[in-house]
Amino acid sequence: MLALALCLMPGEGLAQTADLAQRLTTCGACHGVDGNAQLPNIPSLAGQPSVFLENQLVLIREGIREIAAKGNVLAGVADREITALARHYANQKVKSPPLARDVALFARGQLVSEQRRCGTCHLSNYAGREQMPRLAAQREDFLLHSMREFAANRATGRDTIMAATLYGLDDGDLVALAHYLSRIGP
């Protein structure tokens, strides 16, 4: 309970903690209690930059970024609660599951990431920053799904620069890139 209270904005009371705890339980059902998702095609939120998380939560709440599975779970959520949720998940430790590495696929993904200069925005260790998400140790299936959406220009409500960055890559390149990013340390 203390950890949740620490996520609150200055001046907010512990009464808000119960609401936040309930929201974390709801979010944790898919994204993992500690932000490390175990379900297919669900992103891990642990260790994501706080600003990135806040931006995404607001876009989802406002219906700009539509995620069918979420429905209206964020409808009416106050900005202060979104900030508290973002802080909570940003402060969680990334737990990357041990994944087997296909040497050739990993090398191809590394080459694609260097050629596309992914580290320019997401940092050289792919930890993300400000509004750029952490890609390192993210779920491979989620990364691949997201990159396919960007490459097909179907990532509504998300950064359009990614569509241009991934333009021209074939699906094999996207598979390799997702494999590589999911297997580098957080």
Mind listing the pLDDT tens digit for each residue in 107-163?
A: 999 999 999 999 999 999 999 999 999 999 999 999 999 999 999 988 877 878 899
pLDDT at 170: 97
CA atoms within 13 A of residue 28's CA, in its CB half-sphere: 12
**Three-state DSSP class for residue 132:** strand
Q: Is 1 exposed, middle or buried (0-12, 13-18, 19+ CB in 10 A)?
A: exposed
Assess whether the region 2-90 and the region 103-182 belong to the same CATH fold. Answer: yes
Indicate the class that CATH gives domain 103-182.
mainly alpha
Confidence of residue 71 (pLDDT cuts 50, 70, 90): low
Ordered by start, the domain boundaries in the chain are 2-90, 103-182
pLDDT at 31: 95
Q: Alpha-carbon distance 161 to 103, whole Å?
A: 29
Rg of the chain over CA atoms, in angstroms?
17
Which pair of tokens denotes residue 81?
């609660």
From the CB of residue 166, how many other CB atoms can be counted at a distance below 10 Å? 23
**What pTM does this model have?**
0.86
Indicate the class that CATH gives domain 2-90.
mainly alpha
Q: pLDDT above 70 covers what percent of the chain?
A: 90
**Three-state DSSP class for residue 86:** helix
